[in-house]
Structure 1
Amino acid sequence: MKHFTLILFLCPLLTTLAQPRTDAFLTKLLATNPSAVFKEVMRHPETYRLQIIYTQIDRDKANKPSFKHYYFRVDSTEYFNPASTVKLPLALLSLEKLNRLSIPGVTKYTAMQFDSAYSKQTKEWIDTTSESGYPSIAHCIKKAFLVSENDPYSRMYEFVGQSEINRSLHAKGYLDTRITHRFVRMTADENRHTNPIRFIRSDGRLIYTQPAAFNTDPFDFRREARLGKGYYVRDSLVHEPFNFTERNKFPLEAFQQILQSVLFPESVTPNQRFNLTNDDYRLVYQYLSQYPGETNYPKYDAKQYYDSYVKFFFMDSLHHQMPTDVRVFNKVGWAYGFLTDASYVVDFKNKVEYMLTATIYVNSDGILNDDKYEYDTVGNPFLYQLGQTIYQYERSRKRLYKPDLSKFQITYEKRINDNRPTIKNVDN
């Protein structure tokens, strides 16, 4: 406990030394985009709290990758709301915890039942969107990745536990990251309490019970994060900045590094890796890149949840199809006027691969919780133009050795035409 408290104390001291990083190369490359919306954002990056990381990947003759990161205004001390991006580390930590428990019969596919033992906790004993009819960690990950559903995140939060989430991320070197809450309205105290959980056999027999838990570890909230000039609480406007100080925090570079660590575990130090099996990696890769319309369980409506639905760098407002031979392994988040995406892009035909991570804030009136954010007119068009700028540059960039990308060629599902209704309007 003493060592953990020291880490929490040092965390703000380490990050306050950071300065915004901007590379001339990336700035020059971005200046080539002629889009009016893109140019407007680039003229006022502070207003849009814009941060970008572009990662070039080059292979040697043995196909070993090396990574070169370019930054634009990257600063871990400039807060952005991570929204659903935190579903990525929660999925990885859930798999890691299962492997650490190593209980016979308890896997990511094992049926789970969530009970309640404290204020605002809810039960979940069945899941009609899964093939088994029950929740499981694998099914939570599918729903969290495919269309970014919120409930699976909260269930993984309850399985891992608030204390273990933060201790594990800090131990892997992500000191300025904090996960403090579910995606339901709860107090700080209620979020410290997590549900009792059962793992059961297909016939209902009990395999393992995880008791309710309470996190006693402190958080360091000395660095305040307040945004905007007002916010709504139901129908009432509060005329003061919205306080994010105790909300989730997931700096952009940590987000990029975690995605890189799971796609290229050999590229990071052993202590930064998540303890995953080969089958865990296979599942994560599949659902980071599979389309909702390819998936049978859950059976999402393919028109509403189109191929590029959670692929911000390829989400053209006119066409929702992804380019042929391109797959994007990514996680996005959007809330409070923030749009964020960390992506690994693979073009199998042209032998192109790179990473792109960015966040933008689009809230011109400065009022939060009013649902008047410029997602459609500024945020999404900007991220699409950013994605196309980097993608087209990568297609023309010369490489000494063409990459062997077979590791990322996944066998995806094919939608079965059955009589089940499609799923629309999920909470995400």
Structure 2
Amino acid sequence: MWKPTSLRTMSFPLLGLILMGLTGCSGDHPDTDPLEQVLSSEDPRIRNVMDDPAPYEVQIRYTQIDRKGDSLVFRDFDYQVDKEQYFYPASTVKFPIAVMAIEKLNQLENLNLNTRFYVEGDTLETTFGKEVMKIFAVSDNAASNRLLEFLGQDAINAGFKTKNTGPARFSHRLSV
């Protein structure tokens, strides 16, 4: 229970390697698929997965944002994306939880990002702003779970539905 006070489908190291490789892929070569480029790496951690991808059930969707004058052009690149195959979203669920928590705070007069709170059974007293920051800075599962307690699972699922996220449903806390 939330109380105010004083008014992994892919291993993180592998995901980090892929993301570092993608950030180095610029829009200089418009016909180059950045996923293909990164996933063909000879790095043994990537090679291990790419040589036998089936057990890892890897699905990647990468959106590259290119500037064309004053406009932005979004280009999607996919690896093994299949809408018929269930994909566990792992840490991607943290983003909407953080956004929904900020939206809720904006609707409440007595609470804001600097309000200190703790979750019953937890020893940490923190602020909403610190927990949102930890979600984005270090992908902190405990921070996400604290905001889940503030929002409630039903409210998160209702938020997914009203925001037309497709067939999304939040069903459990993240492990810590």
For normalisation by structure 1, the TM-score amounts to: 0.30
Contact 1:154–1:182 (8 Å) recurs in 2: yes
Instruction: Look up the SS of the partner of 2:54 in the other structure.
Output: coil
Deviations 1:25-66 (A, max 9, x none): 46753565233443342232222212122322211222x321
Unaligned runs of 5+ in 2: 1-31
Relative distance call for 1:183 and 1:43 in structure 2 (3 A) is: closer
1:171 Cα shift? Answer: 2.0
* Structure 1 match to 2:102: 95
Show the 5 A alignment for 1:239-388: none
Q: Aligned partners of 1:70, 1:59: CA distance in 2, in Å? A: 17
Relative distance call for 1:66 and 1:34 in structure 2 (3 A) is: same
More helix by share: 2
Shift >6 Å, 4+ stretches: none
Relative distance call for 1:142 and 1:37 in structure 2 (3 A) is: closer
* Structure 1 match to 2:112: 107
1:158 Cα shift? Answer: 1.4
- Counterpart AA for 1:52: I
Q: Aligned partners of 1:58, 1:82: CA distance in 2, in Å? A: 25
Q: Which of 24, 43, 46 is the aligned partner of 1:38?
A: 46
* Structure 2 match to 1:158: 149
Question: Is 1:149–2:156 an aligned residue pair?
Answer: no
Relative distance call for 1:153 and 1:37 in structure 2 (3 A) is: closer
Please tell me the root mean square deviation across aligned C-alpha atoms, in Å: 2.8
Show the 5 A alignment for 1:15-54: 25=33, 28-30=36-38, 32-54=40-62
Q: Which of 161, 173, 176 is the aligned partner of 1:182?
A: 173
- Counterpart AA for 1:111: R
Q: Aligned partners of 2:139, 2:45: CA distance in 1, in Å? A: 27
Relative distance call for 1:135 and 1:32 in structure 2 (3 A) is: closer
Contact 2:59–2:87 (8 Å) recurs in 1: no
- Counterpart AA for 1:71: D
Q: Aligned partners of 1:83, 1:27: CA distance in 2, in Å? A: 20
* Larger of the two Rg values belongs to structure: 1
1:162 Cα shift? Answer: 1.3
Q: Aligned partners of 1:76, 1:165: CA distance in 2, in Å? A: 22
Relative distance call for 1:40 and 1:155 in structure 2 (3 A) is: closer
Relative distance call for 1:58 and 1:149 in structure 2 (3 A) is: closer
- Counterpart AA for 2:133: K
Q: How many residues align?
A: 145
- Counterpart AA for 2:166: L
1:150 Cα shift? Answer: 3.0
Deviations 1:258-308 (A, max 9, x none): xxxxxxxxxxxxxxxxxxxxxxxxxxxxxxxxxxxxxxxxxxxxxxxxxxx
- Provide the identity percentage: 32
Instruction: Look up the SS of the partner of 1:47 in the other structure.
Output: helix
Unaligned runs of 5+ in 1: 1-23, 115-121, 128-133, 185-427
Relative distance call for 1:149 and 1:42 in structure 2 (3 A) is: closer
